[in-house]
Amino acid sequence: MKKVIGLIIIGLLLTGCSRYIDSEELSQKLPERPPVPNHLIIAHLADGLRLSWQVSDTAAVKMFRVYSSDSLNGYYGILDSTEDFSFTTRNLVNGGSYFFKVASVTTGHLEGPMSPVISSRFGTLSMVINGNDRYTRSQNITVSFVAPIAVVLMQLSEDMTFSGAHWENFAPAINKTLSAGDGVKGFYARFQFGDGSESVDPIGDSIILDTKASIDSIYFETVPYPSGGDILTFYLISGEQGGTAQVVFSGVDHLPLYDDGTNGDSVADDGIYTRRYTIPIDLNITNGVVAGLFTDEAGNIADRRTAPTLLTITQQPPPVTLMATGQTSSSISLSWSQSQETNFSAYHIYRNSDSTVSNSSQLITIISSRTTLIYNDINLDDNTSYYYRIYVYDNTGLYSISEVAMAKTAVNLPPVAVKLAVRVEDSSSILTWTTNNDDDFESYLVYADTISGFSDITGRLLSIINSRTTTNFTDIRHDTLKYYYKVYVYDKQGLSAGSDEVSAP
């Protein structure tokens, strides 16, 4: 039985082998080999490398695996996978060498052989114009490059599209000519490297072409008739920031102006250069020309420009010396030196109760004669100090101020009483009295009463006589009563003294 079974199996096997060998079709085909990536290219980006490739049969490929190594014959580890026909790697070491291979992967996840190796050295590319200057006064510039890998060819252009640019041999520094017209000029470069790679992102630098400087306007502002101590504000408008501006005028050479928000400049870096200038006391200018000078940041010197208005600065009149002397209890005498101002207008005398006397104090007189050098200030309070200053004005309104002078009035004493006499003629009492010679005389007051012993309060006032030299009065009577008379002398401070009482029958 065992032999029969064995024969059957052998027969089946023999029969089966015969059928397989005789068959013209396989029941299962082996998968086709994935295409090998070819035409590998490395392009240099600003921050990395971009690897691209091709395959002969794109339909058979689902994705690609990118391998990298740090040496030609080193270990190639998988870097990443992508379904695109390019791959970008970043975060590379500047100056480092990188080696790449790419393998195709089919839809059945079968990976084919790796491509031939492609390599390049990564490095940050840079360029500077004229040593990184901000400005150039010439269209001719020098462009310098830093490239850590071997550059063979380069293209240079002011146009980022490199329209019309041609490839030329690389040089670490090359002279170029900028397009005409002042302004910001950008310059761009791209490269081909010795390993066959190219740069994708252009590198660039810029510089400001500035071939001329100009002054739009120059002017100044000040008070009418400026003089020493007043403020002059100068303005120079250039439209360019970063330069140096100055004004010059008679007596002042190269006065700097500012565009930094200081010294009267209201807005920094707006191309308007300003200066608040305090006029020196001794500066004197008649119809002076104010000129502006400007050199821009590139070193261009603008044509000198003058302000449309002439500058006149006059000196203040020289001050006079003032003296004050107390004369009486109600007056102070003032005297001063004569003004030497040829453009003299007037002396203004001011008075105050303390030493802060100024032209806001009480103006007591204006004297327009330059040769009048004395003034008597009257009707003052007795035993009081008064302070004075003289302001000397010229015809332009400028003035000088004297030092303060002080004097004190005397203590007021009652006036000296007069001696009174009376005589009767017909129906009249004729009064006569001696003259009062007090400096502060004010008036005579004549009183009468029918009762003896009256005063200037109780008596009847007959007359007020303000003339010191009038020393008589006639009282026309219409009755036969007996009358008593007194004459009171009053001074300017209100003190009085009464004469002896006289009577007329």
Residues 346-372 have a mean pLDDT of: 97
First to last CA, the chain: 207
Q: How many CA atoms lie within 13 A of 111 on its CB side?
A: 12
For residues 455 and 354, what is the distance between their CA atoms, to the nearest angstrom?
Answer: 40
Ordered structural domains, the chain, with CATH: 38-121 (2.60.40.10), 128-209 (2.60.40.10), 232-313 (2.60.40.10), 322-408 (2.60.40.10), 420-504 (2.60.40.10)
Residues 102-127 have a mean pLDDT of: 91
Residue scoring higher pLDDT (281 or 502): 502
Question: pLDDT tens digits for 271-299?
Answer: 999 999 999 988 889 899 999 999 999 99
Predicted local confidence at residue 17, as pLDDT: 38
| CA distance readout (Å), 484 to 231, 422, 444, 446, 487 | 75, 10, 17, 11, 11
Residues 314-329 have a mean pLDDT of: 93
| Whether pLDDT at 11 is above 60 | no
Residues 338-367 have a mean pLDDT of: 96
CB atoms within 10 A of CB 221: 11
Question: pLDDT tens digits for 304-316?
Answer: 999 999 999 988 8
Residue scoring higher pLDDT (397 or 417): 417
Predicted local confidence at residue 4, as pLDDT: 36
Q: Which amino acid is at 276?
A: R
**Cβ 309 vs Cβ 282: under 8 Å:** no
The percentage of residues in the chain with a pLDDT greater than 90, rounded to a whole number, is 77
For residues 115 and 35, what is the distance between their CA atoms, to the nearest angstrom?
Answer: 10
Q: Give me the residues paired with residue 461 across strands.
A: 447
Residue scoring higher pLDDT (18 or 93): 93
| Whether pLDDT at 227 is above 90 | no
Predicted local confidence at residue 28, as pLDDT: 57
Question: pLDDT tens digits for 133-181?
Answer: 999 999 999 999 988 778 899 999 999 999 999 999 999 999 999 999 9
Q: What is the DSSP letter of 70?
A: S
| Whether pLDDT at 13 is above 90 | no
Our measurement of the distance from residue 181's CA atom to the centroid of its chain's CA atoms, rounded to an integer in Å, reads: 31
Question: pLDDT tens digits for 429-468?
Answer: 999 999 999 988 999 999 999 999 999 999 999 999 999 9
* pLDDT band, residue 29 (cuts 50/70/90): low
For residues 449 and 455, what is the distance between their CA atoms, to the nearest angstrom?
Answer: 9
Query: Strands 63-69 and 77-82, how do they pair?
Result: antiparallel
Average pLDDT value over all residues in the chain = 90
